[in-house]
Amino acid sequence: MSDNFKFKEIFDSNTLRGRANVAKATWASVGIIYMLVKMRRNSKRRDVNLYCKRCQQKLLQ
């Protein structure tokens, strides 16, 4: 790793600041995963709109 980025100092579990950084990183990763799941579901829903709701036949484009 780079000499400027010291992982142990930033995410130190003995200091209040380090624990806060761990919490922030955790929430950020949860938010990113949530956004990726939502984006993936929305792309699948677009394919569903190509079908007629009543007769379940594919619509002509």
CB atoms within 10 A of CB 10: 13
Domain layout of the chain by residue ranges: 1-61
The helix/strand/coil state of 16 is helix
- Does the pLDDT at position 57 exceed 80? no
| DSSP helix/strand/coil, 58 | strand
Look up residue 27 and give its two tokens.
Answer: 């929430």
The more confident residue out of 61 and 42 is 42
CA dist 45 and 61 (Å) reads 17
Q: Which residue has the higher pLDDT, 6 or 51?
A: 6
For 2-49, what is each residue's pLDDT tens digit?
A: 678 888 888 999 999 999 999 999 999 999 999 999 888 766 555 555
Give the pTM: 0.59
Confidence of residue 50 (pLDDT cuts 50, 70, 90): low
